[in-house]
Amino acid sequence: DTGVSQNPRHKITKRGQNVTFRCDPISEHNRLYWYRQTLGQGPEFLTYFQNEAQLEKSRLLSDRFSAERPKGSFSTLEIQRTEQGDSAMYLCASSLVQGSRHEQYFGPGTRLTVT
Amino acid sequence: DQQVKQNSPSLSVQEGRISILNCDYTNSMFDYFLWYKKYPAEGPTFLISISSIKDKNEDGRFTVFLNKSAKHLSLHIVPSQPGDSAVYFCAASGNTGTASKLTFGTGTRLQVTL
C-alpha cells in the first residue's frame, strides 16, 4: 500500500501530557499538510510543508503545537500540555505540486482523546 | 466565518436514482474545488475536482458542476449505489499554481437506500 499512513490510529492521554503523531506521505509527494477534524465539522487546516520547509501555519496552531518534517519525508505533530479541547481527529494529507492541480490525499487519521 | 457551506446535513436517495449534493462558497479568491467522500474511521478520499476555468467535470458516475457567478457547485452521482453511502465534503482552494490549503464545508451525509 503506497498511500498516506498515520500512527498511532488512536491515542488516549491525560490532560497535561504531551503527545506526538507521525505521518508518512506518499513517497513522491513534496507537500504535506496537517488538518484537525472535530465532530460535525469538516477538516480544518493546521499547517503545511513543502519538502522540509514549513510554509504556513493556521491561527488554530497554538504555541503548544509544533510540527516538523525533517529531511522532507515523514512529519511529526506534537501537542504539549494537552487540553480536553484538543480531542479531535488529526489528519495528514500529501500532494504533488503539479500545474494547477490541488488534489490532496489523506491518511486514515489519528484520533486523540484527552481525559 | 464559514467560507464553504453545505447547507444540507443529510440526503437520502434510492438506489439507481440521481444524488445531488450542493455546496456554496463566499470567498471569490477560491479557484479550485474538490469533493471528498468519507467513511467512518477513515480519512477523506478524493473523488473529483474542478478548476474555475471550467463549469463541468465528469468522471464516470460523478459529475461536478460549477456556477461561478452564483458561487455554487454541485456533485451529481448517477446512478447512486449503496456503496456511495458516506459523508461528502466540498473543499476549496485559492492561489492557483501554489496548491495551498483546503477549506472544507461541514459535510453532507448521503444514504443510498435499496
| pLDDT tens column, A36-88 | 999 999 999 999 999 899 988 888 888 999 999 988 899 999 999 999 999 99
Determine what percent of chain B is predicted with pLDDT higher than 90.
Answer: 86
Average pLDDT of the residues in B13-20: 98
Spatial contact of B61 and B112, defined as CB atoms under 8 Å apart: no
CA closest to A30 among chain B residues = B99
In three-state secondary structure terms, A86 is helix
CA closest to A33 among chain B residues = B101
Residue B2 DSSP one-character state: -
What is the structure's pLDDT at A102?
72
Interface contact flag, B101 A56, Cβ < 8 Å: yes
Q: Cell 460535525, residue? A: A40
Helices within chain B (DSSP H only): none
CB atoms within 10 A of CB B12: 11
d(CA B111, CA B1): 28
Nearest to B107 among A31, A42, A104 (CB): A42
- What is the longest distance spanned by two Cα atoms in chain A? 44
In three-state secondary structure terms, A85 is helix
Residue B41 has pLDDT above 90, yes or no: no
Cis peptide before B44 (omega within 30 of 0): no
Average pLDDT of the residues in B39-59: 94
What is the structure's pLDDT at B98?
54
Nearest CA to CA, how far is B11 from chain A (Å)? 15
Residue A99 has pLDDT above 70, yes or no: no
